[in-house]
Amino acid sequence: MKPHDSSPLSDYIEYPAHEMLKRSENFYQEIKRRHSIRSFSNRPVAREVIENCIKAAGTAPSGANHQPWHFVAISDPEIKAQIREQAETHEKSFYQGRGGDEWLTALKPLGTDDNKPYLTHAPWLIAIFSEKKGGIHAEDKNTNYYVHESVGIATGFLINALHTSGLVTLIHTPKPMSFLSKICNRSENDRAYMLLIVGYPDENASVPHHAQIKKSISEISTFL
């Protein structure tokens, strides 16, 4: 390695092999209870919980550590209503045919349609933006690298943090999503990446059978 400023790794924790095995098993058991939920309760969730989860997302690795993301956490009912109105308008044309036969057929087992009541019902929406230009400091305007990958990883961290906190989430990607930039007052530099719906599940929440089919380890991996 070339000379560079650094400090010793002081927060690494090594676990004995049996504990490592147990922890990996426990994590799998824990994360496999995460489900995308489409029926949300309107029970409020403390802002501090959302802040902690966003802080967790902000620790994700990113290209040149530029952290090319911005999270807009929305609890304001009027802003949620604006988002719902726009999203449902776009979804209507998607489900009326714009999505195309193949895509609409693929969605049938999930039972989704153009009604998105959770956009106003759930206590929090988190609009995630990716930033074309940026840098290690918030005010930088340099090129960002591996933006899509970086924001995807941060979003994974965020979903994991919210799940671990005891909340449920749904990824929503209305197409096109540019209206989110306007509603959230983001600059031209920011591109809407996805919208996360966050809250408690409604008492009638269910998980589609289709979503419970997970590929086996042998299907998703190869060990060489």
The b/e string for 145-181 (b: 16+ C-beta within 10 A; e otherwise) is eebeebbbbbbebbbbbbbeeebbbbebebeebebbb
What whole-number distance in Å separates Cα of residue 39 and Cα of residue 116? 10
Closest CB to ligand IYR: residue number:
112
User: Sign of the C-alpha dihedral, residues 12, 13, 16, 20?
Assistant: negative
173 binds ligand IYR (CB under 6 A): yes
115 touching ligand IYR, by CB under 6 A: no
User: Which residue is listed with tokens 């209305």?
Assistant: 174
Residues 7-66 that bind ligand IYR (CB under 6 A): none
The CB-of-87 to ligand IYR minimum distance in angstroms stands at 8
Site for ligand IYR in 82-111 (CB under 6 A): 91, 107, 110
Shortest reach from residue 76's CB to ligand IYR, in Å:
22
Q: Is residue 190 at the binding interface for ligand IYR, with CB under 6 A as the rule? A: no
Among 112, 143, 164, 189, binds ligand IYR (CB under 6 A): 112
**Cα separation, 147 vs 149, whole angstroms:** 6
- For ligand IYR, the closer CB: 112 or 189: 112
Nearer to ligand IYR, 67 or 129 (CB): 129
Which listed residue (134, 174, 199, 201) binds ligand IYR by CB under 6 A?
Answer: 174
Residue 67 or 177: the one with the smaller Cβ distance to ligand IYR is: 177
- Which of 70, 80, 172, 191 is in the footprint of ligand IYR by CB under 6 A? 172
Q: Which residues face 128 on adjacent strands?
A: 71, 194
Whether 201 contacts 39, CB under 8 Å:
yes
Helix, strand and coil in the chain, % to nearest 5:
45, 15, 40
Q: Which residues bind ligand IYR (CB under 6 A)?
A: 91, 107, 110, 112, 172-174
